[in-house]
Structure 1
Amino acid sequence: MRTSELPFEKCESLDERTDYVFSEQVGHLLRKAYQWHMSIFQDLSCEPNLTAPQFVALCTIQEMGSCSITDIVKATAVDQATMRGVVERLKSKEWINLSEDPNDRRKVVIQLSESGADLVARMVPCAKEVTEATLGNLNPAERVALIYLLKKMVQS
Structure 2
Amino acid sequence: MNYDFSEQVGHLLRKAYQRHMAIFQQNIGNSQLTAVQFITLCAVHNHGPSSLSELIKATAVDQATIRGIVERLQARNLISLAPAEHDKRKVIVSLTQDGEQLVRETQPHALQVSELTMANLNPAERVAMLYLLRKMVDDSSE
Give the TM-score band, short-chain normalised: over 0.9
Report what 1:103 is aligned to.
86
- CA distance in 2: counterparts of 1:98 and 1:76, whole angstroms: 18
Q: 1-side partners of 2:64 and 2:19: how far apart?
A: 24
Q: Distance in 1 between matches of 2:15 and 2:21?
A: 10
Determine the structure 1 residue equivalent to 2:77: 94
Counterpart check, 1:118 vs 2:101: yes
Residue identity opposite 2:128 in structure 1: A
Q: What is the deviation of 1:59? A: 0.3
Q: Which letter maps to 2:97?
A: E
- For structure 2, which runs of at least 5 residues remain unmatched after alignment? none
Distance 2:53 2:60 in 1: 10
Counterpart of 1:141 (choices 110, 124, 133) is 124
RMSD of Structure 2 on Structure 1 (CA): 0.6
Q: CA deviation at 1:102?
A: 1.8
**Unaligned ranges ≥5, structure 1:** 1-15
The Cα offsets for residues 94-153 of structure 1, whole Å up to 9 and x where unpaired, read as: 000100112111000100000000000000100011000000000001100000000000
Q: Structure 1, residues 14-73: CA drift from partner, whole Å, max 9, x if none? A: xx2xx2100100000001111110110000011111000000000000111100111011
CA distance in 2, matches of 1:101, 1:68: 8
> What number of residue pairs does the alignment pair up?
139
SS in 2 for 1:49: coil
Alignment of 1:3-152 (within 5 A): 16=1, 19-152=2-135
Counterpart CA distance in 1 for 2:133 and 2:38 is 20
Secondary structure of the structure 1 residue equivalent to 2:89: strand
Give the Å deviation of 1:76.
1.1
Q: Tell me the TM-score normalised to structure 2 length.
A: 0.96
Identical aligned residues as a percent: 53
Say which one has the larger Rg: 1
Report which structure shows greater RCO (CA 8 Å, sep ≥6).
2
Structure 1 runs (4+) deviating above 3 angstroms are: none
